[in-house]
Each structure stands twice: as structure tokens, then as C-alpha cells.
Amino acid sequence: MDKYQEALASSHVLSDDAAVAEEVRKIVEKAPEYASPEVYAYLFSSIDLTTLSSEDNDKSVAAFTERVNAFDAEYPQYPNVAAICVYSNFAEVVNTVLDVDGVDVCVVAGGFPSSQTFQAVKVADVALAVAGGAQEVDIVMNVGQFLAEDYESLTDEIVELKHTARDARLKVILETGALRTAENIRKASVLAMYSDADFIKTSTGKIYPGASLEAAWVMCQCIKEYYNKTGRKVGFKAAGGIRTAEDALNYYAIVKEVLGDEWLTHDLFRLGASSLANSLLSVMEGKDVKFF
């Protein structure tokens, strides 16, 4: 048994799809109990506010960033979003325009969203993004290598990209919609964490179905198990199709129930979204708001 199979064999997270769905159902039933102004404000402040459009350009990304700057002045009673997430080539634009404290520069890099390019290209992409000011880098796990069980190539690449990112936080996107089963999501979570991922993230939201509560539950259970074994805390990020305050509250409930309040910090919990910000802000304000 090689070290990859050994790591997978040592994980005992529940991965029966029907059983996982039942655990999620029970948490979702309980989720409304957590609804409060404070929780909605926290969820807003956990957003990686995202623009990933083919139409993005320096001017549009600068304007997007200016809205985050303006939020501090127009809504001083609320904390701002956690980060602005853009394509890697716009890291310098966000870094230059952003002038509020506490909001990080996040990029997607490394052949996003398919991860299908040369490893050298991925390394260069991550390196250039960090040089441009990226403090967080979201990369996509190579799903093809995972499905082929080429775990050595898969994990070596993540380790290399983490080394390239240096002090930047590395979030590894599992693309759970492509993995499909709880068992595959369990395995991918374990491999990513043992490859030095700072976060594991559900989805790109581009090609396959986005985040699901079932995937989140399995990933959070894996994070809990990994922490109990190693003492290292890995963060969780849900992304792809999270649009409403109710959606966000359900993911909050999953994290709270599985990982506890320790994980309800910006260092360990994020929501990747665009329209979610306005939905949460509308709930917080008690009226329809379209600020972003």
C-alpha cells in the first residue's frame, strides 16, 4: 500500500450517499434556528465577492473593486466582504484599486476552471498572480488525474502550487459536481489536505453542478477528522450556485454542526458568490438592495 492509499484507508468519514443525505436533512431542518441579524452579517463578511466573466477587463474589475471600497462608507454598520475574487491577470488591478482594510485579494489560477494545462503554466500563473498582489489563490484539483487514480501526480502538483503561492492562502477546488459521489468527495478531500491545501473548496461553478450541502457535509467531516489526526486546521469554502440568504444559512449550519464555532472565522470559512451579497444585504436591511 503506497502513502496515498494509506491516507485514504485511514479515513473513516461516512460516504454512503443516502446516509449523508439523511444527515444533511436533519441539519437543514435545524438551520432556521441560527437565523439572526448577527449571523447574516457574519455570512456577508465571509463572502469572496466574485467576478469571473469573459467580459471582465481592467476597467470593469476596477469598478467592481470600487463598489467594495464604497461599501465601507455607505454601510459602516456592517463588516465588509472577506475578499474580492477575480481571474489571476486582474490581481494587480484589485490590489491597486482596493483601499479598505480587511478585504483580501483572491484569484482563480492554475488552468481554472478545467485544470487542463501544463504544470509549468499553472506554476507561472500562480507565481504571477502572487507577484501582482494576490493574497489567496484558488486552484482546481486535476479531476482527470483523480479519476485515473494517478494520486502521485495529483498531489505533487498541489504541493508544488502551494510552494509557489508562498504565504498566500491556497484553496483547492475539488469540483464536487464532477466527482458526483460522497466516496469520491471523501477521497479528494483527504488527498488535497495531505497536499498542504489551506482550504478545500467545493466547485468552480463553471462546468459542472456547483456546491451541494451533501458535498459540504462530507468535506467538513474530512476536515474534522484531519484536524483530530494532525492538529492542523483546514478551511472550507462553498462556491457555485449559492445565491440566497437561505442557501448561505444552510452552509453555515453544516459548518457549525460538524466543525463548531472554531471554524466560523474568515480564516476557516468562506462563501464564493456574486449575487449572494445583495441577497444577504437585503435581509440585513429589511428591503430589496442591489448594491453590488
- Told to judge if 167 belongs to the known catalytic residues of this protein, a careful annotator would answer no
- The Cα–Cα gap between 242 and 220 comes to 17
Choose among 281, 283, 238: nearest CA to 259: 238
Q: Alpha helix (H) ranges present in 31-102?
A: 37-44, 58-74, 91-97
Length of the chain: 292
Q: Pick the catalytic residue: 138, 196, 198, 247?
A: 138
Choose among 100, 101, 97, 88: nearest CA to 64: 97
- Told to judge if 2 belongs to the known catalytic residues of this protein, a careful annotator would answer no
Region of 53 please: left (phi>0), alpha (psi -120 to 50) or beta: beta
- Told to judge if 138 belongs to the known catalytic residues of this protein, a careful annotator would answer yes
> Which cell is 7 given?
491516507
Question: Cα 141 to the chain's mean position, in Å?
Answer: 13
Task: Give the up-direction half-sphere exposure of residue 256: CA atoms within 13 A in the CB hemisphere.
Answer: 17
Q: Pick the catalytic residue: 104, 201, 247, 256?
A: 201
Q: Pick the catalytic residue: 122, 171, 187, 237?
A: 237
Name the one residue in this structure whose C-alpha cell is 437543514.
28
Which residues are catalytic, by number?
Answer: 138, 201, 237
